[in-house]
Structure 1
Amino acid sequence: MEFTPDRSAKKPIYKQIAEYIEKEISSGEFSPDTRLPSERALAKKLNVNRSTVVAAYNELESIGLVERKIGSGTHINTDIWGISHKRIPNWGRYVEDGSFLPNLPLVQKIRTETQKNALINLASGELAPDLFPVDQFRSILIKQPFSGHLGYDHPHGNEMLRETISNHLYNYKNICVRPESILITSGAQQALHLIVQCLLKPGDTIAIENPSYAYSLPLFQSAGLRILSLPIDRYGVNPYSIIELQRKHRIRMLFLNPDHQNPTGTKLSINRRKRILELSSEYGIPIIEDDPYSLTSFNGDIGPCLKSMDENGNVVYISSLSKIVASGLRIGWIIGPQKVIERLADAKQQVDFGHSVFPQWIANEFLGSPHFDLHISLLRKHLKERRDLIISALLNLSEVETDFIVPEGGIHLWCKLNEQIDEYKLLDASMKKGVAFVPGSIFGSEKGSIRFSFGRGEKHLIEEGIYRFASALKSSGSG
């Protein structure tokens, strides 16, 4: 067996061994009934642990390529291509070879642990159940029975909902848009996916904020894009960073979250907004404005959004009801030039034949009713109370020394610890104490930062969550 495992590769060695043997079987180099080296002999030849070879042989046996015979070792299956034996596809290979990348393992772990365990959840970027407008939805369902049709809707989404969104955007954000320039999506996540898949190609260079929620999304890497980072300070992205990147690279698209940014909570200053729009026009770089949080502004001051300042049609605007009404409603929208909306709508039709009629119906009823304005007012009040609780808890703990910018809206608090720390070990220790957060490096920043989300944490548990975090920090040897 002429094979040497690549110890520098990310792929586990046992998988490398299994794939090599599978390749040799497929090519005919290993004929049926060939006896493979014993586990001990192959481990010695490849200079690996015997358990590594055992794992490789187990994987080959699970897909029907080899048989383990007591007393005679491991053999290539004699009936691989016959009718009496059913081969099992190597699903592990298929899973690994797919072009759409999975979430980062740490992201998967946080999601799994917060769902199955009774953790105080300061990690998830969503609203707590007690902040959902459940009573208002119930009232709508009782007083206004569904009267829509149940067939496929317009490719852009329900016409009445798009008209309501058009009025909503004008009244709340001073954005003038016609319904035909709006596409309803399954939240902002699908909107981003459609933009990446339809408007960019592998090898294109994009620029995103650093830190940024976008760093945690594999969709950019899956699309083969080159990602450049724009550092953030307390006033958001510095326009000079865009100039410097453009001098060295040809930026094809700029992704920004200007209001109460995720994860830092910062708000892009007015002067910087104006300058970035000027640079967009000067260089011909389209801007994707992701705006999930501007309505949560605690003092009620909204925007101005980049889209409301856009005089040349350079901004494609994304927003949703996920962070201000209910994440499970799955109602988002994209605003852009009509030809762009037509292209994205065609792609969405290929994926799901348009959005479900029921969420669109109830979103239209709620968004166009007095319930919405009252809900937003209460939401701002409750989110500000939660923000104040988490800040007060951090300030009252002398053993937790952090720097943070007090957010004026949104649901996130970005903390920089004032000492060196392994944030992944700290997360493990915190979960054992019963509280979850998100390590900063998930968002592309340097180590030593963490994101607390106060929107998801239940109000009476936020302070306890910070105490548990402090206990984990101390027990992990960093406090």
Structure 2
Amino acid sequence: MWKPDRNSKKALYEQIADHLEQRISYGEFPPGSLLPSERKLAEQLGVNRSTVVLAFAELRSLGIIESRTGSGTRVSTSKWEATPKHTPNWSRFAEGGSFLPNPPFMRRIREALIQQPDLIDFASGELAADLAPTIELAQLMKEHKYTSYLGYDNPQGSTLLRQELVDYLQRYRGIRTTESSILITSGSQQSLYLITQCLLSPGDAVAVEDPSYCYSLPMFQSAGLRLFRLPVDEHGIQPDDVRSLYKKHRIKMVFLNPNFHNPTGTVLCEERRQQLRDVTSELGLPIVEDDPFSLTAYDGLPPKPLKALDDIGSILYIGSFSKIAASGLRIGWMVAPNSIVSRLADARQQMDFGLSIIPQQVAGQFIGSHYFEPHLDRLRMELRFKRDLLIEALEKELPGQIHYKVPDGGLHLWCKLFKKMNDSKLLEESIKRGVVFVPGSVYGSDSDFVRFTFARPKTEDIGRGISLFSEAYRELNG
């Protein structure tokens, strides 16, 4: 993000005025469009509001912008050659469409991380750079010659990667499948998007866990789906709740994250797994199983997926490399009946004509290499260490004021604050102090829940980050 140069001889307000004029002339802010408020622009640029006031005054004097009380500041419609009635109303377009924006909290968190890169990040659900197999992947790229063909690949994804995934899924997840039943995607998010758009219709009822990351994904609402809750306790969901929702709402699909559930970290117990299998088989209900965290099991004994027991093809199984290797590879997969794979591969091809070939080949080489298991061992050890640091910091900074269940895998710690909070104020107060987290209401929970992700922050920042959070918490508690 552009920032004014404080070492320049030109005044800060003049630099800001020049920058805005340039963006306006490039069409980023067309005639009639609303500019950011003085306060927000000052925050983004790291200057006093009075500096932005001077910049706006400079642009107004040139007739480039115009301000009206109660209506904000807009780009002038008379200064530019374009006739106002022929200028598209981009604000209306931005607010329209059927695909909804991210929830306000998620947009605020993203905005804060962009504006303040030094924030201690307990919000982002991805691995820190030092946990990714960067050296191993670089070595593989030296050892192997990758294809010189850079055209469109098989709509289902790289044949090499799908072949490697057949062995990977059987060895590490106990899933028996063939390459024709695997669809490569850009990650779990795209897999879910394809399912909601292609296999379901507006008005369909689906069941999701409560709390659930699904509540943070606007794609479910954008698809017009009706979400019904399956409460999660320390042993996962209750299978009888699935039966009840089916009888009452005729749910068409169940979305589950049974292993190291996001955000609670729970694992669906064995007894309930069998009960769930019986209930869904009896009702003919498909399950979408998202399994991103299993291989992070700190004891090296990952729980089996539901798909490993699926002998009738009723489970659509989703996996990815984002939580065990590197989110930047943008590699995920879905195991499904061949008819479903063909349908979704056709839809995905309409979207992007297929994924990039090179990352698929790198991923295929990596999971089949001697680098993979040592990487997993190191990842588990580092994640467990970071989890323990986080818990130690919470016990030190907020003794007797917070409750949590220690997870045995995954990247998250789900916490309940003993005092009810205004989660918006708590988030803003935390950002002001230099730390960010995800409020529990993002996942459909009450405002006294928070999710801390410990995979992203540096080891040396975890204690300091919780100290800053506790300061914000105490400030709001008087």
Sort the TM-score into its range (normalised by shorter chain): 0.7 to 0.9
C-alpha separation between the residues in 2 aligned to 1:85 and 1:162? 54
Q: 1:80-119 counterparts in 2 under 5 A?
A: 87-117=86-116, 118-119=118-119
Contact 2:191 2:318 in 1 (8 A): yes
Unaligned runs of 5+ residues in structure 2 are: 1-31, 33-67
Q: 1:185-204 counterparts in 2 under 5 A?
A: 185-204=185-204
Report the alpha carbon displacement of residue 475 of structure 1 after superposing the two structures with TM: 1.3
Contact 1:400 1:470 in 2 (8 A): no
The aligned counterpart of 1:408 is 408
Q: 1:207-356 counterparts in 2 under 5 A?
A: 207-356=207-356
C-alpha separation between the residues in 2 aligned to 1:180 and 1:115? 41
Superimposed CA distance per residue, residues 277-321 of structure 1 (whole angstroms, 9 cap, x where no aligned partner): 111111111000000000000011222200001111110000000
The aligned counterpart of 2:51 is none
Report the alpha carbon displacement of residue 397 of structure 1 after superposing the two structures with TM: 2.4
C-alpha separation between the residues in 2 aligned to 1:187 and 1:291? 11
Q: Secondary structure at the match of 1:370?
A: coil
Superimposed CA distance per residue, residues 99-130 of structure 1 (whole angstroms, 9 cap, x where no aligned partner): 10011121011012123311111110000111
C-alpha separation between the residues in 1 aligned to 2:398 and 2:314? 48
The aligned counterpart of 1:151 is 151
Q: Secondary structure at the match of 1:421?
A: coil
C-alpha separation between the residues in 1 aligned to 2:294 and 2:123? 20
Q: 1:431-442 counterparts in 2 under 5 A?
A: 431-442=431-442
4+ long deviations beyond 6 Å: 83-86
The aligned counterpart of 2:42 is none
C-alpha separation between the residues in 2 aligned to 1:95 and 1:354? 27
C-alpha separation between the residues in 2 aligned to 1:468 and 1:266? 27
What code does the residue aligned with 2:69 have? S
Contact 2:262 2:412 in 1 (8 A): yes
The aligned counterpart of 2:382 is 382
C-alpha separation between the residues in 2 aligned to 1:337 and 1:177? 10
C-alpha separation between the residues in 2 aligned to 1:320 and 1:237? 23
C-alpha separation between the residues in 2 aligned to 1:342 and 1:380? 36
The aligned counterpart of 2:171 is 171
C-alpha separation between the residues in 1 aligned to 2:291 and 2:377? 18
Q: 1:351-366 counterparts in 2 under 5 A?
A: 351-366=351-366
C-alpha separation between the residues in 2 aligned to 1:96 and 1:388? 44
C-alpha separation between the residues in 2 aligned to 1:398 and 1:253? 40
Contact 1:318 1:333 in 2 (8 A): yes
C-alpha separation between the residues in 2 aligned to 1:85 and 1:246? 54
Report the alpha carbon displacement of residue 247 of structure 1 after superposing the two structures with TM: 2.0
The aligned counterpart of 1:4 is none
Report the alpha carbon displacement of residue 84 of structure 1 after superposing the two structures with TM: 6.8
C-alpha separation between the residues in 1 aligned to 2:122 and 2:142? 34
Report the alpha carbon displacement of residue 238 of structure 1 after superposing the two structures with TM: 1.0
Unaligned runs of 5+ residues in structure 1 are: 1-17, 19-49, 69-78
What code does the residue aligned with 2:181 have? S
Q: Secondary structure at the match of 1:311?
A: coil
Superimposed CA distance per residue, residues 180-226 of structure 1 (whole angstroms, 9 cap, x where no aligned partner): 00000001100000011100000000110111111000000001111
Alpha carbons of structure 1 residues 92 and 374: separation in structure 2 relative to 1, 3 Å: same
Report the alpha carbon displacement of residue 421 of structure 1 after superposing the two structures with TM: 1.0
Deviates more, 1:469-478 or 1:439-448: 469-478
Among 66, 69, 75, which residue is 1:51 paired with?
69
The aligned counterpart of 2:477 is 477
C-alpha separation between the residues in 2 aligned to 1:400 and 1:132? 35
C-alpha separation between the residues in 1 aligned to 2:454 and 2:182? 31
The aligned counterpart of 1:368 is 368
Deviates more, 1:232-241 or 1:160-169: 232-241
Structure 1 residue 461 and structure 2 residue 461: aligned? yes
Deviates more, 1:399-408 or 1:285-294: 399-408
Contact 2:398 2:470 in 1 (8 A): no
Alpha carbons of structure 1 residues 84 and 225: separation in structure 2 relative to 1, 3 Å: closer
**RMSD of Structure 2 on Structure 1 (CA):** 2.0
C-alpha separation between the residues in 1 aligned to 2:455 and 2:144? 30
The aligned counterpart of 1:30 is none
Contact 1:399 1:470 in 2 (8 A): no
Report the alpha carbon displacement of residue 86 of structure 1 after superposing the two structures with TM: 6.6
Alpha carbons of structure 1 residues 395 and 178: separation in structure 2 relative to 1, 3 Å: same
Contact 2:440 2:446 in 1 (8 A): yes
Alpha carbons of structure 1 residues 216 and 84: separation in structure 2 relative to 1, 3 Å: closer
Q: 1:414-429 counterparts in 2 under 5 A?
A: 414-429=414-429
What code does the residue aligned with 1:135 have? I
C-alpha separation between the residues in 1 aligned to 2:168 and 2:383? 22
C-alpha separation between the residues in 1 aligned to 2:434 and 2:91? 33
Report the alpha carbon displacement of residue 477 of structure 1 after superposing the two structures with TM: 2.2
What code does the residue aligned with 2:191 have? A
Report the alpha carbon displacement of residue 149 of structure 1 after superposing the two structures with TM: 2.0
Superimposed CA distance per residue, residues 340-366 of structure 1 (whole angstroms, 9 cap, x where no aligned partner): 000000000000111100110110111
Contact 1:122 1:456 in 2 (8 A): yes
Report the alpha carbon displacement of residue 402 of structure 1 after superposing the two structures with TM: 0.9
Q: Secondary structure at the match of 2:371?
A: helix
What code does the residue aligned with 1:94 have? F
Superimposed CA distance per residue, residues 372-418 of structure 1 (whole angstroms, 9 cap, x where no aligned partner): 11100110000000001101111122456111111000000000001
Contact 2:191 2:333 in 1 (8 A): yes
Q: Secondary structure at the match of 1:396?
A: helix
| Percentage of pairs with the same residue | 46
Structure 1 residue 205 and structure 2 residue 166: aligned? no
Deviates more, 1:325-334 or 1:138-147: 138-147
C-alpha separation between the residues in 1 aligned to 2:143 and 2:248? 59
Aligned length: 412
Q: Secondary structure at the match of 2:86?
A: coil
C-alpha separation between the residues in 2 aligned to 1:374 and 1:149? 31
Alpha carbons of structure 1 residues 160 and 281: separation in structure 2 relative to 1, 3 Å: same
What code does the residue aligned with 2:94 have? V
Report the alpha carbon displacement of residue 138 of structure 1 after superposing the two structures with TM: 1.2
TM-score relative to the length of structure 1: 0.83
TM-score relative to the length of structure 2: 0.83
Q: Secondary structure at the match of 2:403?
A: strand
